[in-house]
Structure 1
Amino acid sequence: MKNFAKLAAAAVVASVVAGAAVAEGLYTPNLSYRTGPFAATGIPLMNGQKDYMAMLNARDGGVGGVKIDFEECETGYSTEKGVECYEKTKGKAIVTQPWSTGITLQVLPKTNVDMIPILAPGYGFSPMMDGKTFQWAFNMPSGYWDGADMILQFLASEGDLKGKKVAFLHLDHPYGKEPLPLLEAKAETMGYELLPIPVGLKEMQNQSAQWLQIRRERPDYVVMWGWGAMNAGAITEAVKTKFDMSKMIGVWWSGHDADLAIVGDKGKGYKSISWSFPDASSGVMADVKKYVVDAGASQSNETEMQGVFYGRGLVMSMILAEGIKVAQEKYETAEINAEQLRWGLENINITEERLAELGMSGMVAPFSTSCSNHTGNSGGWMLEWDGAKFVKVSDHLVPDTSAYADIVKAKAAEYAEANAPWAVNEACEG
């Protein structure tokens, strides 16, 4: 393979010599939500994503010598607006980042026809792990069923779950229902009682009814699949009802520093599984500060930048940038298209060495993708609130994908049949 840095430089020189215009940029729209009931959790993520791309543009001239056009299309987390944003941006986009399981489910069949890859890091439809069936969809580095499996692994490490009662406090939304197939299957094999407790969109800030049920049922654990205002509402109610916070564990979207800061020391012991971890002293943070923050180009602030969600936003954009880089090297062109990016996202290999080069060691676990695996299953760490910040309280946890491989296969086949005719990657083996 040719040295792509030299190739990209040569391409720029050639275009200048020929009097041609240099590429305007690779269009990678983000379906953001800086407004609405989920804005508190969306803003730090969007800021992290945007700042990483701004840093690459300022420091490196983008990726492969071509700048990234990281335009945001505001959805307010509305599925309807999300679909509108998708239709508005798909004409020149090389990727779509839907930022909601509901939006993902709506645009998933469209992308299979439009041939635009979906990049939904750590969210979306869990069976997207099956790359042969969902050849245009990616949820790397870890999916919801990975998260649920790791939570159960952690709980089992504290004692046998047989005969225990596990309350599943979740947003009554496609996102909140995503892990139910796995949790239900595991309840049968592990012997615990699963108690689903939904929280409606209008109940997020007033969960007195749900916590009255939790008080009455006295579960051994509460697993939370919350988002936006639901997280702060649940944590506040848990403290108010004197629930043992060490028995409450959230998915990675329920591990937002600002939500726990509301209760401070009273939230000590609360945990969240996470595939990312912030590092304010990392090389990537130093470059973001130098090229973006000091230049007055960031919408973030010092407190937010130290948190889990901002750091996760950096990792998410890194994944996209790496997919672009891999595609550029493969096709020996800086100006890749959507189909070429699909190949790039399918052939990512984030090693420890590469993370060190990126200045992101320890901020995400190594992972790789393939034509058959679009999730990567990186695993992650259990984080715990110490009263002021989240800290790692586990070694690297790895999901047991063999335990739900059959569920992935069955749900993927079910989806393809329901949306027939559904094009699959027939050339993919394994």
Structure 2
Amino acid sequence: MKTLMRKSALLPAVFALAAALGASPALAEDAVNVTNLSYRTGPFAATGTPLMNGQRDYMLMLNERDGGVNGVKLVYDECETGYNTEKGAECYEKTKGSSIVTQPWSTGITLQVLPKSNVDKIPILAPGYGFSPMSDGKVFQWAFNPPASYWDGASMILKNISEGNLDSLKGKKIVLLHLDAPYGKEPIPLLQAYAEKYGFTLLPIPVGVKEMQNQSAQWLQIRRERPDFVLMWGWGAMNVGAVTEAAKTKFPMDKFVGIWWSGHDGDMKSVGEAGKGYRSISWSLPHSESSVMQDIKKYVLDAKKAEIGEGEFDWVFYQRGVLISMFTVEGIKAAQAHFNTKVVSAEQLRWGLENLKLDEAALKAIGMDGMIAPFSTACNNHAGHAGGWMLQWDGAKFVKVSDHITADAEMIDPLVQTEAKKYAEANAPWPINEECKM
């Protein structure tokens, strides 16, 4: 897959022209740098690439269509991690001095840089991933995981498979097939709490990175256990391997449900009809006819400012990448207005991300109505808890098969507070935002 990735390819031509003409330093300063800790290589490249492309192309479109954000150019760049935690930590150190935000793109990398956030004062943006208790903005002042956390996702899945009656899960057996990494282990504490309260059996089954494409041992165990449902926290080749094995063992696809990172068109296309019926919870909906997507097509793809893979434009992950860059941009806009400045700093962006107001009117104004549920953030709520929808693979694409689903705050909030407090105590001295009374 061809991509145009370097900064030089992403900066509008006016910058090169201005430099050639000896433009004033003030013009060159009217830009903000947004660096992604990307993974276009390694075992998860197939999923990382469309997400990065979507993020890049939204910012490119704004530069081409609007000249940036209120007269400030968006300089999108990437530091390649290969989804490797050590490389991610190196990328963080390399980029923290220039980027106004850190996007770790791995729960492992997020956990690695999280202790540094209070010192370096650079916001961490981890949309729909990372450490679930980061939603507690009083404790994690510099970390954001909108529009929903992994614990939100687990709660929504249970609500959906129980048809809204969690008591109906009593006596049932639920397998959690998960990547044997921090990401895959994220839902376990909440699922265990649900199991204890509602009387079902939770059986976590890990999948190592080297086992992703050959999960015969895991699915042999699943056959023996005969669970009522299999939930999947998979990534990359693990998703394909799991759905392929489920089809081989004739496990009912409508009883097989993944988190939003296990709902990638590219993965499922390699499975095709065999995966029909598989479901994935999602906080985003693909809407190729939306005005924002049509503007990306016009100003970026048709104009040959960047290239993406065949069919990728309609994929859930590409369009989710677009939404993720929107979070950063709307944070920049909020900070510009609040601080009455054009070029916002990392600290000012932190305020902007903490004061997102993405109601229906705002989403419509930016051309994203129908792509995500309205939500807002606050000093004590860094996730937004927007909720989502269940998508189902019809053999060729994902389609929406549920009404809007929200997470169970009564189950999640106490666990968030407990785990956030534990983290702060383990990393003492850890600053708490005592001024946050919301």
TM-score of the pair, normalised by structure 1: 0.95
Which residue identity does 1:425 align to in structure 2?
N
Give the drift of 1:155: 1.1
Q: Counterpart in 1 of 2:93?
A: 87
Aligned residue among 174, 182, 186 for 2:182: 174
Q: Distance in 1 between matches of 2:437 and 2:289?
A: 42
Give the drift of 1:19: 7.6
- Residues 28-427 of structure 1 mapped to structure 2, 5 A cutoff: 28-157=34-163, 160-427=168-435
Q: Distance in 2 between matches of 1:424 and 1:228?
A: 36
Give the drift of 1:251: 0.0
Q: Distance in 1 between matches of 2:278 and 2:46?
A: 19
Q: Distance in 2 between matches of 1:66 and 1:227?
A: 35
| Equivalent residues of 2:30, 2:342 under 8 A apart | no
Give the drift of 1:302: 4.3
Q: Distance in 2 between matches of 1:298 and 1:384?
A: 30
Q: Secondary structure at the match of 1:236?
A: helix
| Equivalent residues of 1:168, 1:225 under 8 A apart | yes
Q: Secondary structure at the match of 1:404?
A: helix
Q: Distance in 1 between matches of 2:217 and 2:335?
A: 51
Q: Distance in 2 between matches of 1:306 and 1:382?
A: 17
Which residue identity does 2:42 align to in structure 1?
G
| Equivalent residues of 1:52, 1:318 under 8 A apart | yes
Seen in structure 2, the aligned counterparts of structure 1 residues 20 and 165 have a Cα distance that, compared at 3 Å, is closer
Give the drift of 1:336: 0.7
- Identify which range, 300-309 or 114-123, moves more after superposition: 300-309
Which residue identity does 2:199 align to in structure 1?
G
Q: Distance in 1 between matches of 2:419 and 2:394?
A: 39
Q: Secondary structure at the match of 1:312?
A: helix
Give the drift of 1:32: 0.2
Give the drift of 1:22: 4.0
The RMSD of aligned alpha carbons is 1.4
Which structure 1 segments of 5+ residues have no match?
Answer: 1-15
Which residue identity does 1:364 align to in structure 2?
I
| Equivalent residues of 2:134, 2:144 under 8 A apart | yes
Which structure 2 segments of 5+ residues have no match?
Answer: 1-21
- Identify which range, 124-133 or 154-163, moves more after superposition: 154-163
- Identical-residue share of aligned pairs (%): 66
Q: Distance in 2 between matches of 1:258 and 1:38?
A: 12
TM-score of the pair, normalised by structure 2: 0.93
Cα deviation, 1:178-227, whole Å, max 9, x if unaligned, reads 01110000001111100100001111111000000001100000000000
Cα deviation, 1:329-353, whole Å, max 9, x if unaligned, reads 0001111101100000000010111
| Equivalent residues of 2:236, 2:267 under 8 A apart | no
Aligned residues: 415
Which residue identity does 1:191 align to in structure 2?
G
- Identify which range, 153-162 or 98-107, moves more after superposition: 153-162
Q: Counterpart in 2 of 1:11?
A: none
Seen in structure 2, the aligned counterparts of structure 1 residues 347 and 199 have a Cα distance that, compared at 3 Å, is same
Q: Distance in 2 between matches of 1:110 and 1:396?
A: 36
Q: Distance in 1 between matches of 2:50 and 2:32?
A: 23
| Equivalent residues of 1:235, 1:259 under 8 A apart | no
Q: Secondary structure at the match of 2:244?
A: helix
Seen in structure 2, the aligned counterparts of structure 1 residues 18 and 68 have a Cα distance that, compared at 3 Å, is closer
Q: Counterpart in 2 of 1:428?
A: 436
Q: Secondary structure at the match of 1:330?
A: helix
Give the drift of 1:158: 7.3
Q: Distance in 2 between matches of 1:325 and 1:148?
A: 32
